[in-house]
Amino acid sequence: MYDVVIIGGGPGGYAAALYAHNFGLNVALVEKERVGGTCLLRGCIPAKAWLKTAEVFAHAKKAADFGVQVGEPSLDWQVALDRKNGIVDGLVKGLGGLLKARKVDVISGYGRLAGGGVEVSTDSGEVRRLEARNVILATGSRPRAIPGYDFDGNRVVSSREALDWTERPNRVAIIGAGAIGSEFALILGSTGAEVHLFEMLDQVVPGSEPEAGKALAREMKKKGVNIRTGVAVGPAEVHEDRVVVPFEGDYVEVDKVLVAVGRAPVTEDIGLETTNVSVDRGFVEVDPNTMLTAEPNIYAVGDIVAGTPQLAHAGFAEGIAAITHIATGEIAPVDYRAIPLVVYTDPEVASVGLTEAEAREAGYDVEVHDHGMRGVGRAIIQGEVGGLVKIVSEKDGPILGATVVAPAAGELIHELMYAVAWEALPAEAAAYIHAHPTISEAIGETLLSAAGRSLH
């Protein structure tokens, strides 16, 4: 009898499995592929490896601007692919070793809920039953398709296939300009491909601050990305050697189409119909304080949870919350207000808390302050002046949200994460000193403005 059986070895599942050792729980982790889930195997980690390749290539092309003569760079796609695969394999191996050290039983197979326990079907056809006091569902998500763009693994693909392209396509259409679509647009555009990025809504990275979308779009266009926002595409015409993508009386002809319009929860065929678990459009509803479903002793974490961000670090926190409740009966609720979101483009776009529009919609009396990078010494030195910092606060009240568009914005956002989480007043946060010269000085300048005493 296991204290906990976890179905799914992605970030939410393996975080729960690892955290359980703090309480001496007996844990089994069921995974039909390798541990690591979408994030490690075919999402966050491999995509960032490709983005690093694109960044180095782009920097090499600009080396002469800094007085460094290296000639025209060339890209060995296979070497970059091998490097990406090596990073993934190394992290998977490390994760496997850590699970073993924590005495987690990793069981290979497809897990389903069954009569208070879990049945595991292996590739050999064997069915094994695991008895469990508690079950955590962490089955993750998969790329969404759209009408007229069925995935065929060749001409029309999801991010899963695109991460393993053995050569860079020369012409690519990307449908969807969210985080995944925008990151791929930068990978391909920075390395010389002809990229057409389509988005139905009115900006890249929909849902982010409009200023952030505009700043990112400007920089993407400099890297050769053709951006069309507020545009719907018609059904693709797939030919043996090309794909025609029609839109609003026009069309583009490309080698590949990447559909990046979000991810759907993987909750079918996992035995939910045998339980009282409540499901909304495939997403599992939980108590946000405990991650417990409507079925006693069945929890859910990660991408399958209704109404929460599909982010690996959200899955980590949800796994911790579930294990804490299982082990102690206490709650360790996830503070979704203060979860950073990062788009790893060039420049990066990072945000936390409420946008200006969200804060106004929530009824706050809002004050907004921003600061561009054009006067920031470190940004000028690096040749990266296209970004900004925007801080949203309540009038005479705390900081409600913030956005940073800058190199390494994904690192910089965390000081503003604490400000949002701790409901800091702008004047309180502005009292602390930023090193000079740094990109983060732009945050300090914006905080000073929000406190009513701007410097530069």
State both tokens at 398: 């705390």
CA–CA dist 13, 299 (Å, integer): 11
Q: Is 434 considered catalytic here?
A: no
CA–CA dist 131, 2 (Å, integer): 6
Per the DSSP assignment, residues forming a β-bridge with 226 are 196
Give the other-Cβ count within 10 Å of 57's Cβ.
17
Give the other-Cβ count within 10 Å of 431's Cβ.
12
CA-based diameter of the chain, in Å?
A: 69
The CA-CA-CA angle for residues 261, 266, 268, to 5°, reads 130
Contact 270, 282 (CB under 8 A): no
CA–CA dist 154, 168 (Å, integer): 13
Catalytic residue among 21, 371, 434, 436: 436
* Residues in CB range of 279: below 8 A, 6 or more apart: 267, 272, 285
Per the DSSP assignment, residues forming a β-bridge with 293 are none
Active site residues: 436
